[in-house]
Structures are given as structure tokens and as C-alpha cells.
Amino acid sequence: MWRRLGFLSPAISSSKRQNRIPESLKLVMLFATDAVKDDITASRRPFITFVLGGPGSGKGTQCARIASAFGFAHLSAGDLLREEMSCDSKKGKLIRDIIMEGKIVPSEITVHLIKEAIMSSSADRFLIDGFPRSEENRIAFETIIGVEPNLVLFFDCPEEEMVKRVLGRNQGRIDDNIETIKKRLKVFEMLNLPVINYYSAKGKLYKINATGTVDEIFEKVRHLFGSLRP
Ligand SMILES: Nc1ncnc2c1ncn2[C@@H]1O[C@H](COP(=O)(O)OP(=O)(O)OP(=O)(O)O)[C@@H](O)[C@H]1O
Ligand SMILES: Nc1ccn([C@H]2C[C@H](O)[C@@H](COP(=O)(O)O)O2)c(=O)n1
Ligand SMILES: [Mg+2]
């Protein structure tokens, strides 16, 4: 099956930008012992789908449809961070500042939130929406949680369409303004495309043209998930 997905995914041009792992994350990785990984993988091995795409490409919209049609638990990294951001704490303020700047929150924070969410769920299949956003995110997940995704969906959408959708979203998000969107698009290209290329090379990527109506896009997604036996 995964070979077939690889075949369907055209290669994506690779980014020249190298991602560096910060010292703080190296320390977390050092202490991510097998005992910690076993928290999630000892009693079960959930089916994990990463859902990637630029800002406004429709990840959240399609995840909601997939979750209700195929029984996946939907974990949005952005939603988890926004929830944490609303806490009146130093960490909450740090997250708010980073999101306003369109940058990426340190991986140890995001992976910890995802890990907690997986552990407190009894689901056997997860959509992890908006993660990993960088090579650092990806490596932290693999090291701390100790599993690789079974499948990676990439919603490929032209920039003008993404900007139009984000500006029309109207959900009161602090990053839904033109200045932050421009920064998020640059960060997507610099940090997220290398991750997409990585999974493409591994034959795990399924690229979906994210233009058209929500229903038209979901038809393609439905076809893919209908052929899976997670
Ligand atoms: N196919 C579509 N056509 C038109 N509008 C869409 C389509 N899919 C989603 N939208 C709308 O575009 C906006 C962005 O969609 P969504 O929140 O799903 O994107 P996202 O990829 O999760 O973005 P972000 O990374 O910023 O969270 C929403 O208002 C949504 O209703
Ligand atoms: N892995 C992630 C996911 C999200 N963030 C931050 C930065 C994003 O701009 C913001 C919103 O996420 P979205 O709702 O668009 O998925 O949250 C991050 O730092 N790391
Ligand atoms: Mg979203």
C-alpha cells in the first residue's frame, strides 16, 4: 500500500535550508528512554496520519470530515497550542508571541501536548493535523513518542487561494491577518516542505490537489481512506 502511495506522489523540489536541532531538544531526546515511549506503544500501536499543507489549505476542514466518516480522532497541533496559549502563564505567553510571529513553537512543547492527547484517548487511529511543521518537530515526535506515521497527507494549494481562505475564515484567530500570513507562508516553504519531501522519499506521502470545493476534495480523500485497512 505504502509503495502505491509513493508512486502516486510526485517528487517535490527539496529545500536547501538545513534545520538545526537546538541543544534543549537534544537533551529531551537523550532522556526519551524506551520506558517513556512505552507509555503509548506498550499496549497498542495506533494508526497515525500526519496531515500537512500550508495555512488555509483546508487541513482542519478535511480532518473533520475524515474523523466523522472513518472514526479517526482529530488532534490539531494548532488547537492544542491555542488552548495552552490561553493559560495565563509564561509558556502561554511564549506560545502567543510565536504564533503571532508566524513561527514554530519549540518541539518539546508541541510533542508533549500531542503525547498527552494521544494518551488520554482510547482511539486506535489519529489524524495529527498541522504536525510536523519542521524537521525538528518530526525528529522530536519520532524520538519522544517512538513511532512513525503510517500515512502522511499533503493538501497542496496555491498561495493566493490559501491567503483568500485564511482572510475569510473569521474565527478570531490572532494569526489570521495579512502580515502574519505572509510570514507563515515563508515558514511553510522553508521548514515544512523539507518534511514533505522526507515523507515523499519514504513513500508515505499522499499529495492531494486542494483546490475545488470541500466536497470535491473530500471525494479524493474518501477514496484514499476507503482503500485503507487501519
Ligand atoms: N475547499 C475549500 N474551498 C473554499 N474554502 C475552504 C475550502 N476548504 C476550507 N475552506 C475554508 O478556508 C478556511 C481555512 O480552512 P481550514 O481552517 O480548514 O485550513 P487549515 O489548513 O486548517 O488552516 P490553518 O493551517 O491556518 O489552520 C476556513 O474558513 C474553511 O472554511
Ligand atoms: N506543529 C505546529 C503546529 C502549529 N504551530 C503554531 C504555529 C502556527 O502558525 C500556529 C497555528 O497552527 P495551525 O492551526 O495553522 O495548524 O500554531 C506550531 O508552532 N507547531
Ligand atoms: Mg487548521
Q: Which atom of ligand 1 is nearest to the CA of 213?
A: 1
78 lines ligand 2 (CB under 6 A): yes
What does the pLDDT look like over 6-52, one tens digit per residue?
A: 323 333 333 334 456 666 666 555 555 444 455 666 677 899 999 99
Q: What is the CA radius of gyration of the chain?
A: 17
pLDDT (mean) for 140-165: 97
Q: Which atom of ligand 1 is nearest to the CA of 165?
A: 12
Q: For residue 41, what pLDDT is reported?
A: 67
What does the pLDDT look like over 77-107, one tens digit per residue?
A: 999 999 999 999 999 999 999 999 999 999 9
Is 181:167 a contact under the CB 8 Å cutoff? yes
Among 61, 178, 216, which residue has the most ligand 1 atoms within 8 Å of its CB, making it the best to mutate?
A: 61
Q: For residue 222, what pLDDT is reported?
A: 97
Confidence category of residue 196, pLDDT binned at 50, 70, 90: very high
Residue 123 half-sphere exposure, CB side, CA atoms within 13 Å? 20
What does the pLDDT look like over 51-76, one tens digit per residue?
A: 999 999 999 999 999 999 999 999 99
Antiparallel, parallel or unpaired: β 125-129 and 47-53: parallel
Q: For residue 33, what pLDDT is reported?
A: 46
57 lines ligand 1 (CB under 6 A): yes
The ipTM value here is: 0.99
Confidence category of residue 175, pLDDT binned at 50, 70, 90: very high
Strands in 78-150 per DSSP E: 125-129
| Domain ranges for the chain | 21-226
Domain 21-226, classified CATH 3.40.50.300, yes or no: yes
Is 128:50 a contact under the CB 8 Å cutoff? yes
